[in-house]
Structure 1
Amino acid sequence: MHVHDLIGEALAGMLAKPVRSALTTLGTVLGITTLVVTVGVAATAGNQIVGRFDELVATAITVEVPESEHTPLVEWDAVDRVTRLRGVESAAAVAESKDSTNLSVRSNDIVDPTRVTTQSMTVLTATVGLPEAARGRMVQGRFYDTGHIRRGDRVAVIGDRAAQQLGITRLDRSPAIFIGKHAYTVIGIIGDLRRERNLSTAVIVPPTVGRRFGLRDVTRVLVNTSLGAADLIARQAPAALSPGNGDMLQVVAPPSPTRARDKAQDDVNALFLILGLVSLVVGAVGIANVTLVTVMERVPEIGLRRSLGAARRHIAAQFLLESTLIGLTGGVIGAGVGVVTVVAVSAAKQWTPLLDVRLAIAAPIAGAVVGLLAGLYPALRAARMEPVDALR
C-alpha cells in the first residue's frame, strides 16, 4: 500500500464516524489544554502571589504634595522629621515640574553638526537622602551634600542612562554638562534604581540650584519603611511633613498585610478552580465517549427493545440514567480520594488540612450533573434509531 493510499484509508476511517472522532479529538485537545493551562496559570498565579508579598512594594510610601498658592505645604527640612519616626529607614523630598522636563542638556559647548550632542532631559531637585530613598546606589562619584546645598554650588548628579546618552564615562576630570547657557559639574552618577527608575535619564541638582528652573516647592516625598511599618507610617507621615495641613497631602501606601493575604488566597482559589473546571470538562468528554461506544455496541439490543414496544423516551432515559450513574459513582469515589489526598499531603508537608464539607457533599452531585450532560448526545442518538435499521 502506497503512502497516499494509507493516508486516504486513515482519513476515511476518521470521517466514517465523525462524531466519535470529534469526541476523541476533543479529549486529546482538552488533555493538552489542561497541561498548558496548569503550567501557564500556575506560573502566572505564582508570580502574582509573590508580587503581592514583595518586600519592596510592601515598604514603599509616596506622599504627593499638591501646589499651594501661598506658602508651600511641605518645607525642604520637613524630611528630617519623617526620618525620626520609628520604622522609617530612609526618606527624601523631590521637586519636579512641567517646566523642568525636556530641557536641553549637552555635555560640551562645542557645536558639531555631525553629532547629536544635545539631549532633552528632565531636571529635578531632591534632598541628600535620594539615593537611599530611591533604592539605588552611586555608580560613580558621590551625591551632593548639605554643604553643596548651603553654598549653592553648581553641581549635578545624573542617571546612568543619562550619562550614556551624554557620553560621560569618567568623573576623575570633573566633567561638566550645560543646561541652557550655564555649566554644572557632574560629581556623581546614580544607577541600579529599584524605585523612581525615571531618575536614570534625569539630571538632579541641589534645591538651591533648582530654583533657577522653577523647582521651589516639594512635589513628592519618598519614604521607605521597615517591613510591617508601612501602615503606621502612612498615617503619621502627613502630620510630620505638614503639621495642620496633613489632610491635604495624598499618601500612596501599600495595601495592608490582611488585604494582601486575602488577595493571595483569592488568587490561589481562582487558580485551582480553573484547573478543576478543566478537569471536569475532560471527564465529561470521557463519559460521552464511553456512552457513545456503548450505544454503538448495543445497537441490536436497542432495535429489539424498540420492536417490543419501547418508545424513544425509554431508550433515551436508559442511557441518560447510565451516564448519570457513571458520573455519580465517579463523584463519590473522587470526593473520597480527594479528601484522603488532601489529608495525606498535609501530613507529609506538616500542614493543617482545611476541608470544606460543602464541597465534599456537592462533589457527587456535580459528578452526576456532568454525567447527565455528557450522555445527552449518545442518548439522543440511541433514541433516534429505527427498529428495522437496528435489527438489520
Structure 2
Amino acid sequence: MKRRGVRAPRPARLRPLDVLRLGGTGLRTRPLRVFLSALGIAIGVAAMVAVVGISGSGQAEVDRRLDALGTDLLRVAPGRSLAGERVRLPVEAVPMIRRIPPVRQVAATGAVDAHVYRNDRIAVGHTGSLQVLAADRALLPAVGGQVRRGRWLDAATERYPAVVLGATAARRLDVYTPGTRVLVGGRWFAVTGVLDPVPLAPELDGAALVGGPAARTYLRFDGHPSTVYVRTEDRAVAAVRSVLAATANPGRPGEVQVSRPSDALAAREATESALTGLLLGLGGVALLVGGVGVGNTMVISVLERRPEIGLRRALGATRGQIRTQFVTESLLLSLLGGLGGTFLGTLITAGYALARDWPTVVPPWANAAGLAATLLIGAVAGLYPAVRASRLAPTVALAGS
C-alpha cells in the first residue's frame, strides 16, 4: 500500500552532456561496426557531393571557355542621322557608360585622321589599309588582348610619341621589335609593343594604337570615341544593352549603334540550364541512394541492441531516455559519416578536376545538403526502431538475447 504523502521516486534527468556521453558509448564500444556503418554513410554522401562537384566544375569550365568568346562584351559606335550623315559620340560617352552599375569595364578607341608608314620613303597612297586609333589604357584588358612583344601603353607612354601595333599591322609594316620608329601622321613614333591577334576585337589587329593624350597633342585627335567596348555582368547583358544608347548619347539615342549580345551568350544560358538540370537530377539520385544506406544501417544497428535496451529498462531507464539515447547515437553516427563523406566527395572532385585541368567547384549547398540529409535520415531511421524497442517490456527485450 502506498503511504499518504509519499511520492514515487522520479527518474533522473539527463543533461545534454550526459546525452552526448550516453550516445557516444555505443560508438566507442563497437568501433568496427561504427566504422563500417559510417563508411556506408560516407560513401552515399561522397557520391552526392562528388556528382554535384564534378558537374559544377564542368559547368565552370564551360563558362570559362565561353568567356573567351566575349559573351559579356558589347560595342557602342556612332550610327547615322536621319539624313544619312555619319554622327559622332559625345566625348563624355565613356564616363557616362561607366556609371551603369552592372558595367565592369569600359574602354574606347577613337579614329584618328592619320596613316602609319614604315618609313618616309613609302608612297603616301600605300597605307596598307592600316588605321590609326587613339586608345585608352584600359582597352587591352577590356577586349582580352595580349602583348606579344614589348609592353602596352601606360601612364607615361600614352602622353608621348609611342605606338603599339596590332598583329596584322606589325606584319604589313614588317616591324616586330620594340624601339623601332614608324611614321604616324607625319611624325616619328617609337614602337613600344606588338599585340597578339585579338579575337574579340579583330579590328585592332590592323591598327596602330596611340595613347589618347598623345593623339590629341601630336595628331589633332578631337577626343570623340569611335568605338566603346563595354564589359558587363553576364546576367545583365540584355539590360545594359537596352540603356547603352540613351546613356552614351542622351540627346540622340537613335543615332547610336549597339551590338547585340554574342550568340555564345545564348549558348551559355542553354548550357547552364542543361547542366543545372543534370546536376540536380544526379545529385538527387545519389542522395536517395545514400539515404537508403543510412536508413538500413541505423535500423539494423538499433535492432541489434534490443537486449541492451531491456537491461537498461530493467535498471530504471525510462522510455524517453531510451529513445533519446539511440536517436543521439544515430545522429552522432550520421554526423561522423556525413563529415567523412563531404571530405571524401570534395577530394574526389578536386582530383577529377585537376586531372581534366578544370577549376575545382564544390557548391557549399552540396556539403550542407549532404550533412543535413544524413542527420535527418539518421534521426528518422534511429527514432522508429528506438520507439518500438522502448515500448517492449524489459523481460521481452531481454528474451531477445
For normalisation by structure 2, the TM-score amounts to: 0.43
TM-score under structure 1 normalisation? 0.43
Which has the higher relative contact order, 1 or 2, with Cα contacts under 8 A spaced 6 or more apart? 2
